[in-house]
Amino acid sequence: GYVAPDEMFVGYTRKYSMAVWTGYSNRLTPIVGDGFLVAAKVYRSMITYLSEDDQPGDWTMPDGIYRNGQFVFQNGARPTWTETTSQSSSTEN
């Protein structure tokens, strides 16, 4: 499993960009188990609310961004987490 002092989720739509950080002021208090994905859930709730009246539509992913599985990365960036079973596949691009 994962153990980390904090987590972040960053995403964007055609109209909005948002970064959500969750964690503890004491970095020695780790996030474990159900504490992960809180930032992603907050992002989803806020973007859903902000985009209620927007018309959905296709759009092109900006240059310099690529998708690897369910995650989106900026070219040259590497994930900040490690997982022994998928580390090599998630950091090779």
Contact (Cβ atoms closer than 8 angstroms) between residue 8 and residue 31: no
Q: How many CB atoms lie within 10 A of CB 24?
A: 12
pLDDT tens digits along 37-62: 888 899 999 999 998 888 777 778 88
Contacts of 45 (CB under 8 A, 6+ apart): none
- Distance between CA 69 and CA 82 in Å, rounded? 16
The pLDDT of 14-41, averaged and rounded, is 81
For residue 70, is pLDDT > 80? no
Pick 80 or 89 by higher pLDDT: 80
Pick 89 or 59 by higher pLDDT: 59
Pick 9 or 4 by higher pLDDT: 9
- Domain extent listing, the chain: 1-55
Tell me what pLDDT residue 44 has: 93
The pLDDT of 12-28, averaged and rounded, is 84
